[in-house]
């Protein structure tokens, strides 16, 4: 069984991982918009950005799956206690 400090550290890591999803979504949008602009500017032939969209979408889905959901911007003691409670029962 994990110690109180170990559960607290893990709880903080879990919360941060969930909050990193926001930056992952922004990166997904920016990268894919740039790819579509490049495709459009270079003649609009075969829509090759679909491969970039597919790869980044898979990455985004995996990130969301791992984090489950994002939380508020500040990590409160209540967030840490709730996450530690999940670790203690799981």
How is residue 54 written in tokens? Answer: 């597919």
Residue 1 is classified by DSSP as: -
- The 10s digit of each residue's pLDDT in 30-58 is 999 999 999 999 998 999 999 999 999 99
Domain extents in the chain: 4-89
Structure tokens at 80: 């840490």
Distance CA(34)–CA(7), nearest Å, equals 41
Residue 69 DSSP symbol: -
Report yes or no: 2 and 87 within 8 Å, Cβ to Cβ.
Answer: yes
Segment 8-20, tens digit of pLDDT:
887 788 788 878 8
Model confidence pLDDT, tens digit, residues 52-84 = 999 999 999 988 887 765 444 567 788 788 888
The closest alpha carbon to 75, from 24, 27, 20, 31, belongs to 20
């Amino acid at each position: 069984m994990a110690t109180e400090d170990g559960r607290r550290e893990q709880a903080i890591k879990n919360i941060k991982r969930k909050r990193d999803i926001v930056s992952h979504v922004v990166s997904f949008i920016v990268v894919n918009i740039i790819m579509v602009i490049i495709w459009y500017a270079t003649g609009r032939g075969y829509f090759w950005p679909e491969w970039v969209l597919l790869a980044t979408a898979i990455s985004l889905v995996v990130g969301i799956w791992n984090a489950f959901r994002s939380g508020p911007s500040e990590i409160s003691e209540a967030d840490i206690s709730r996450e530690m409670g999940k670790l203690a029962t799981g």
